[in-house]
Amino acid sequence: MAEAIQSEKLSSKNEVKALKGTASSLRDELEKSKFDMAEAIQSEKLGNKNEVKALKATAASLREELEKSKFDLTEAVQSEKL
């Protein structure tokens, strides 16, 4: 009977050890997942920031081109009137 109790204690001890190992591995995996997610978010934010900057520059350039076209058109109309 004492041998059965010892065997059961050893089995329980091994199970607890295995569960602690599993919990530790899962905790590590969760931390890595959180880190990877934060890194992906930062990368996406940077990409969006760069895209917004490029789009603003494009809009400014197109606005300048439009203003120049309007000015050139006004000049052409004025020179035709003379």
What pLDDT digit, counting tens, does each position of 7-20 carry? 999 999 999 999 99
Rounded Cα–Cα distance for residues 25 and 31 (Å): 10
| pLDDT at residue 26 greater than cutoff 80 | yes
Quick one: CA torsion of 57, 60, 62, 65, rounded to 10 degrees? -130
Query: Is the per-residue pLDDT at 4 higher than 90?
Result: no
Reply yes or no on whether the pLDDT at 69 is more than 90: yes
Query: What is the model's pLDDT at position 21?
Result: 98
Average pLDDT of the residues of the chain:
96
Mean pLDDT of 18-42: 99
| Residue 82 Cα to chain centre, angstroms | 61
Q: How many folded domains does the chain comprise? A: 1
pLDDT of residue 2: 87
Domain that holds residue 68: 1-82
Task: Look at residue 46 in the predicted model and tell me its pLDDT.
Answer: 97
For 20, 21, 61, the CA distances from 26, given in Å and listed in that order, are: 10, 9, 52
Total-model pTM: 0.62
